[in-house]
Chain A
Amino acid sequence: MTTATAPARVNLKPKPNYETTAWKWMRYSGVLLVPLVWIHVAIQDVIVGVHNIDINYVALRWANIGWQVYDILLLAFTFAHGMNGLRQVSFDFFQSDKARRNLSWIIFVAWLVISFIGAMAIIGGARTHLLEP
């Protein structure tokens, strides 16, 4: 007579991969972005308003290291969060591994280029001296 052996224990929890980490960071960055973006929007769009914003306003703001750090954080977190969101949405429309890999690369390069353009501006500041008087 043979005795039935107990089935081996199966670990159903998969190892965290890139997508798991990205999923978590969408949530971590989301928590940070609510105060960061809402304060930015409240000041620039509601309180100050686009009619009171010109290059001198930007120059004045970025002469302050505190606002420079704030805007760098804003740029880094909003745009990465947004571009990763775009990647996730695009995966709904493209199912093949090849298409998804290509899309990820395109989105990554676009993210890198636009982030560089923005970061250089925040660090370099408004170059009002280049304007004709």
Chain B
Amino acid sequence: MTTLIASLRTTLSGYIKYRGREGHYSFLLHRITGLGTLLFLAIHIVDTATVYWMPELYDHAIAIYRLPPFLLGEIGLVFCVIYHGVNGLRIIYQDMVKPSSWTIHTQRRAARWTLALSILFWLPAAFVMFRTLLAHL
């Protein structure tokens, strides 16, 4: 148990203290957005499956998603999905197509472009969703 806690602490402090700038931040963002999306996905599969297993429950599940905090969470979820996708494509390109681009300079520039592109794709979606949120207050 003590070794487990020591191992958790070593890994987590490494995540935080490592000073890899853009590469480090995109690694962290990729993991956070991925795990966040997975958490929602697991819940989402089960709540949608109620239409078959327990149809009377589905309305209640959807009612929760219509609450303002969940609508805000949904806007965040869309950012996670967009960032994880754009950054994933960058990793796939650098791994499978052009491994020579795994240099610090290229990677830093690519990481900045990835974030900029993700925000650009996310803003119109966030705008539409936020407008819907306000309309249903």
Contacts and interface: CB of A to CB of B under 8 A. Distances in A.
Interface of A: 27, 30-31, 33-34, 37-38, 41-42, 45-46, 49-51, 53-55, 58-59, 75, 78-79, 82-83, 85-86, 89, 92-95, 99, 114-115, 117-118, 120-121, 124-128, 130-132
Interface of chain A: mostly helix, strand, loop or mixed: helix
Given A31-B89, A33-B85, A131-B55, A50 B71 contact: yes
Interface string B55-66: 110110010011
A131 B56 contact: yes
A124 B52 contact: yes
B29 interface: no
Interface residues of B, number: 44
A23 to B, nearest CB: 9
B25 to A, nearest CB: 16
A22 B128 CA distance: 37
Interface of chain B: mostly helix, strand, loop or mixed: helix
A53 B45 CA distance: 15
A78 B49 contact: no
Contact of B45 (A46, A99, A117): A117
A86 B129 contact: no
A55 B2 CA distance: 49
Contact of B41 (A51, A79, A89): A79
Nearest to B44: A118
Contacts of B11: 92-93
A41 B78 contact: yes
Given A53-B62, A58-B48, 8 more contacts: A38-B85, A46-B129, A51-B132, A83-B38, A94-B4, A121-B52, A127-B55, A130-B56
B37 interface: yes
